[in-house]
Amino acid sequence: MASPRITTFQGNRNFRLLIVLATLSGKPIKIEKIRSEDLNPGLRDHEVSFLRLMEAMTNGSSIEISYTGTTVIYKPGIITGGSYTHQCPPGKPVGYFVEPMLYLAPFSKKKFSVIFRGITASHDDAGLEAIKWGLMPVMEKFGVRECALHTLKRGSPPLGGGEVHLVVDSLISQPITMHALETPQISSIRGVAYSTRVSPSMVNRMIDGARKVLKSVGCEVDITADAWRGENSGKSPGWGITLVAETKKGWRYFSEGIGGAGDVPEDLGAQIAYELLEEISNSAVVGRNQLALAVVYMVIGKEDIGRLRITKSQIDEKFICLLRHIQEIFGTEVFLRPVDDEDSDDLIATIKGIGFTNSNKKMA
């Protein structure tokens, strides 16, 4: 029964990414030694929940979890999509579940229309605006035009009570081959500061803090105030800000953050603004938090060579892990070469697509 060669991985690193890559490649994978050294070994609630979600969005997947939960064998089926409601566990926000769906949704049989319930913000995972304004523009560059994330309710941690609706209407057979060799120029900075169940003045204080920092770059800054109240603002008080630097070409850089206990709104606004500047200085075409999505889309593109400009500082541990996983699952390597420009030590990542086709789509 078992196929001759199952690619095996160890540890709980990049769990979602591995599952996503396996699904896209159609190859079974085995992940072992998941937190085997930990006092509480095995998969966590949110990881099991994620596997459930995968099961719902695909047809024919088989997931075997060992008795201790430290080994998972995942045999992917086809991506079917459709309508579904996913209840996210309290440990992880909806962003944790929405983010991997973005890798799969455009290559599905039916349109994705998934409602996620739970916490909508956290310190570590993607926030709603980050997905909407940070990740979806990247997808758009690869030909996925009709996708949206509707915020029905916000739910700040720890109690949550939020609800978002992910709709991906573009079904494409493969991503467009991308050539992004120039660092685009930023034309404006936009953002949203939101609050749930706290005084709306918090929002304005965050905006003030961010504006003060961004004044020095001398570009248009437009931050929207978004105060949520009543039924739709979830069960817990919370506030946060997302800043996005826009370019005319459609690429975006962004940074985000939420307030914790004892944080001062002005400081958070300023911190996120500084992080945006830092991210801009460290990135060429995409930010670090968009890099994985862009690279995976390039890998599953047409059998043609796509190029993406990156900076040296974007090559970090995470990036190397990503490339190794891609190599192990797809057998494709990414070539890096320096740009022709002498003033810059940026690199061009050259990726040959594997010629992935959405098996649910007829080829034209």
Partner 1 sequence: LQASKNRKKKWDIGKLIYMNNISPADCIKRWRGEAEDETVSDVESETEEDFFKQRAAGSEKVGVDDDLEKFKPHFETFKKLVAKWSSADSIKHRFLGAPKASAAHE
Residues that bind partner 1 (CB under 8 A): 11-16, 35, 37-38, 95-96, 99, 123-126, 130, 183, 185-187, 213, 216-219, 248, 256, 267, 270-271, 274-275, 277-281, 287-289, 315-318, 320-321, 323-324, 327, 333-337, 347
Q: Are 310 and 335 in contact (CB under 8 A)?
A: no
Those residues whose C-beta lies under 8 Å from the C-beta of residue 205, and which sit 6 or more positions away, are 264, 265, 266, 269
Q: Are 146 and 168 in contact (CB under 8 A)?
A: yes
CB of 43 to partner 1, least distance (A): 13
- CB hemisphere CA count around 231 (13 angstroms): 1
CB of 189 to partner 1, least distance (A): 9
CB of 31 to partner 1, least distance (A): 12
Nearer to partner 1 (CB atom), residue 48 or residue 321: 321
Both tokens assigned to 151: 């915020």
The label of the residue with tokens 């817990």 reads 236
Nearer to partner 1 (CB atom), residue 62 or residue 187: 187
Residue length of the chain: 364
Nearer to partner 1 (CB atom), residue 227 or residue 239: 239
Nearer to partner 1 (CB atom), residue 231 or residue 343: 343
Nearer to partner 1 (CB atom), residue 88 or residue 171: 88
Both tokens assigned to 201: 């003045």
CB of 347 to partner 1, least distance (A): 8
Nearer to partner 1 (CB atom), residue 184 or residue 233: 184
CB of 213 to partner 1, least distance (A): 7
CA-to-CA dists, residue 237 to 117, 134, 195, 277, 320, angstroms: 17, 25, 8, 28, 38
Long-range own/partner contacts, residues 39-43 (CB < 8 A, 24 or more apart): 41/68, 41/69, 41/70, 42/68, 42/69, 42/70, 43/12, 43/69, 43/70, 43/72
CB of 321 to partner 1, least distance (A): 5
Q: Say if residue 158 is preceded by a cis peptide, omega within 30 of 0.
A: yes
Nearer to partner 1 (CB atom), residue 226 or residue 256: 256
CB of 294 to partner 1, least distance (A): 14
